[in-house]
Amino acid sequence: LNVLSLPRTTYIFFMAKESVLTYFVKKSWMLYVLGFFFIASGLGKAIEISSFITLVQSLLGKSIWAGIAALIIPPVEVAIGLALAFHIYPRYSSAGAMVLLTVFTGAFAYNYFVNGVEDCGCFGALEIFKTSPLISFIRNFSLMALAVLCFRYPLSHESALW
């Protein structure tokens, strides 16, 4: 393979020190997307907290712990979303996003397959984000993949705020 016979753009691509995936992650658009979804999700649940408490109690039972969990989850989601959007400890916040997405997707899968519930309650009162169960699963798995990539390829120290 004669490198000089390759088109200039191909040559530059092969000579780059970073992979394309690392380049896109360092440009941090993935953190903004994750942050947006977590902020929207937390605010949507906080707007109509009573329906979210009912949803959590349908999963965990009507205990005091279910109510406490339902009151804690929306502010935690907003905090993780803000941390992602403003690049505050991006590796830790993407790890938190992975954990929450895994728990939420598992809870929705259980509720969907066992109880027949079709609304994941992901965005609470925000009707614009209401989707079919298949789209909800695809969205959650896509967001999990973004969180894994952000964790695996963290921002460089120059572009992170903290």
**Residues near 57 by beta carbon (within 8 Å), at least 6 away in sequence:** 63, 66, 67, 70
d(CA 97, CA 105): 12
Predicted local distance difference test score (pLDDT) of residue 27: 64
Predicted local distance difference test score (pLDDT) of residue 52: 86
Residue-wise pLDDT for 117-159, tens only, equals: 888 888 887 777 788 889 999 999 999 999 998 888 777 654 5
CA 61 from chain centre, in angstroms, equals 26
Average pLDDT (95-113) is: 93
**Pick the residue with more confidence: 10 or 123?**
123
**Pick the residue with more confidence: 94 or 156?**
94
